[in-house]
Amino acid sequence: MREIVSAGRRSRGALLRGFLIFLTVSFFPTGVYSAEDIYKGLKNKLLQDGFSAQQVSSSFRPPPPPMFKLVAQTMKIREGVANYDFFLAPSEIASARRFIADHRSSFRNAEAAYGVEPEIIAAILLVETHFGSYTGKTPTLAVLSTFAIMDLKANRDNVWKLLPPHDRQKWGREAFDMKLIDRSGWAYRELCALMELRDKHGIRPESLKGSIMGAIGWPQFLPSSLVKYGVDGNGDGRIDLYEAGDAIFSTANYLKGHGWCEAKSPAQKEAVIWEYNHSKAYVRVVLAIADRIGNEDRSGMMNDE
């Protein structure tokens, strides 16, 4: 009987191990390895660059699974350009005006502090996330860490295999590698900024979720922008870009920092918005939204309640 029970346990154990291997192979399409192993070099680099063992271990415990499929999605070649004209609809302009009216105190105080008009702040928050309606569900630490390890050919190979054949042909392997190596350097810098947020603002990197490129909150700031331009707009002692007051003040601070207050001509204003998003279509629509909001008498919206 003891031998039968033991054999049964071994059988169940073998089935469980087989199931776990199946899950691992399914998630990591190029074979079986642990996320802990794949981030070993990245964690060592963070330690060498001055982050403490506690900072690194806290952020990578447990280690986030590498997001190769998502990285592959960002490398797909899409025809055409993004169209933001939807946000010029009268209903969208009306929602922006309501948002300004609902948060008139925050807008008024932000304008006094940074010299940035409510219309342009509201236009950006409308286009970026429709005032927090969709901020993204991608784990920020995981996606930036995955991009950061694209400096290794083996990891780029994993992504290359996930691209459809026509995208591989359009990219070519050399251009593909160069793009991901460049993006790896960018992601590592953003990852370092993300790690700084724990000490500077008490933000847990592993808790953040946002866009597939690591942008977070209503204004979709990258971690480096949050470190540099994040503001506690509501005075609660912390910076939360998922809260209206902090999002408004932080966006105003970003625009001021990029020269909005000195921008007088249309071309100068376009250059500032270009720094927010390198898209001509985006720049055109954001400025058009701000202009349409401003066509309504501001004094009525900005008066005290």
The residue whose two tokens read 């918005």 is: 273
Most confident of 56-60, 78-82, 186-190: 186-190
Q: Is the pLDDT of residue 288 over 70?
A: yes
What pLDDT shows up at residue 37? 86
What pLDDT shows up at residue 82? 78
What is the rounded distance in angstroms from the CA atom of residue 177 to the CA atom of residue 159? 10
pLDDT band at 4 (very low <50, low <70, confident <90, very high): very low
Is there a contact between 97 and 301 (Cβ–Cβ < 8 Å)?
Answer: yes
What's the length of the chain? 305
Helix axes 118-129, 244-257, angle to 10 degrees: 110
What pLDDT shows up at residue 79? 57
* Better-scored residue on pLDDT, 154 or 203: 154
What is the rounded distance in angstroms from the CA atom of residue 11 to the CA atom of residue 7? 6
What is the rounded distance in angstroms from the CA atom of residue 208 to the CA atom of residue 141? 7
The closest of 228, 232, 254 to 243, measured between CA atoms, is: 232
Two structure tokens written together for 280: 């001509």
Q: What's the chain's average pLDDT? A: 87
Residue 39: CB partners within 8 Å, gap ≥ 6?
A: 60, 63, 66, 145, 149
Is there a contact between 112 and 9 (Cβ–Cβ < 8 Å)?
Answer: no
Q: What is the DSSP string of 153-166?
A: HHHHHHHHHHS-HH
pLDDT band at 204 (very low <50, low <70, confident <90, very high): confident
210-266 tens-digit pLDDT: 999 999 999 999 999 999 999 999 999 999 999 999 999 999 999 999 999 999 999
Looking from the CA of 66 toward its CB, the CA atoms found within 13 Å total: 30
CA distances to 38, 47, 263 from 41, in Å: 7, 10, 44
172-201 tens-digit pLDDT: 999 999 999 999 999 999 999 999 988 777
What is the rounded distance in angstroms from the CA atom of residue 288 to the CA atom of residue 256? 19
The residue whose two tokens read 């998003």 is: 277
The total of other beta-carbon atoms located within 10 Å of residue 198's CB is 17
Residue 13: CB partners within 8 Å, gap ≥ 6?
A: none
Proportion of the chain above pLDDT 90, given as a percent: 76
What pLDDT shows up at residue 205? 87
DSSP 192: H
Strand partners, 221: 216
What is the pTM (predicted TM-score) of this model?
Answer: 0.84
What is the rounded distance in angstroms from the CA atom of residue 177 to the CA atom of residue 152? 10
Is there a contact between 74 and 150 (Cβ–Cβ < 8 Å)?
Answer: no
DSSP 74: H
Q: What is the DSSP string of 6-40?
A: HHHHHHHHHHHHHHHHHHHHHHSTT----HHHHTH
Q: In this predicted structure, which of 106-115, 204-213, 220-229 has the lowest mean pLDDT?
A: 204-213
Residue extents of the structural domains in the chain? 1-32, 35-305
